[in-house]
Amino acid sequence: MNEQDARSLLEIADDELVLGWRDSEWTGIAPFLEEDVAFSSIAQNEIGHARALYELVAREHGTTADELAFDRAPDTYRCTQLVELRLMEWEKTIARHYLYETADGLRLERLKESSDPEIAGLAAKIDREEAYHRIHAQMWFDRLQNEPRFTAALQDLWLLAQAVVPDDLRPQFAARMGLSTESGSEPQSRTEHTAEFPELWEEMTVVRRSQPAGTRW
């Protein structure tokens, strides 16, 4: 695995970990039971994908998946701002879900073509699970596509969503969404985080930080 591959996998892993965390916030409080179940499963899958991706990178860097997930300083995470936001309005959560799953699908299609068989194999496995996230997101899009609050949320999050895919996939992402990339602004870089991120990091790592390094759980 070359350095560029390791960096890309780490970006995706950070996205999946943080989005899994945010999605899990619907456990117990979704608008109805089916969605409580769906978002809990989706969150579980995303964190599972993060773990597997971290493991590949960890083998390369001589560290562990847990250390990559929880022992880094907050400013070294490479997740996009889209996944960091705490969105407790349903239409915004669904808009993010639809944007993210579409972008993630494009990113995985490319990763499946990697010349590194380990990366291509893991990407193919992840994609089989993600197919069900895309189906779920599509069902919600079909239901909400004419709701003004939902379409406004899509517009609000669109610029942030573009940062999920590599630059050269943006036109394809825009075409798939039926949206334009010409807003005059550039998507935020993965090195810049939202004001909400440090708080999320605090919460996400608090249990692990409560014990001395190297503790086995």
Partner 1 sequence: MVTAAQVWEALAEIPDPEIPVISLVDLGVVREVEVDAGHVRVDFTPTFLGCPALETMRIAIAEQIRALGAEPQVNVCLDDSWSTDRITPAGRAKLRASGFAPPAPRTAGAPTLLQLQSNVHRCPYCGSTDTRLENVFGPTPCRSLRYCGSCRQPFEQFKTI
Binding site for partner 1 (CB under 8 A): 34, 37-38, 40-42, 44-49, 51-52, 55-56, 117-118, 121-122, 124-129, 131-132, 134-136, 138-139
Whether residue 14 contacts residue 46, with contact meaning beta carbons closer than 8 Å, is answered with no
Instruction: Report the candidate in 111, 109, 99, 105 with the shortest Cα–Cα distance to residue 8.
Output: 111
The minimum distance between CB 132 and partner 1, in angstroms, equals 6
Q: Which residues contact 19 (CB under 8 A, 6 or more apart)?
A: 46, 79, 83, 100
Closer residue to partner 1 in complex, CB, 122/200: 122
Closer residue to partner 1 in complex, CB, 56/79: 56
The minimum distance between CB 119 and partner 1, in angstroms, equals 10
The minimum distance between CB 107 and partner 1, in angstroms, equals 15
72: left (phi over 0), alpha (psi -120 to 50) or beta: beta
Closer residue to partner 1 in complex, CB, 50/163: 50
Closer residue to partner 1 in complex, CB, 26/158: 26
CA 169, CA 120: separation in Å to the nearest integer? 18
How crowded is residue 36: how many other Cβ atoms within 10 Å of its Cβ?
15
Closer residue to partner 1 in complex, CB, 125/149: 125
Angle at which helices 170-177 and 148-162 cross, to 10°: 170
Closer residue to partner 1 in complex, CB, 121/198: 121
The minimum distance between CB 41 and partner 1, in angstroms, equals 4
The minimum distance between CB 192 and partner 1, in angstroms, equals 29
Q: Which residues contact 99 (CB under 8 A, 6 or more apart)?
A: 82, 154, 157, 158, 161, 164, 177
The minimum distance between CB 35 and partner 1, in angstroms, equals 9
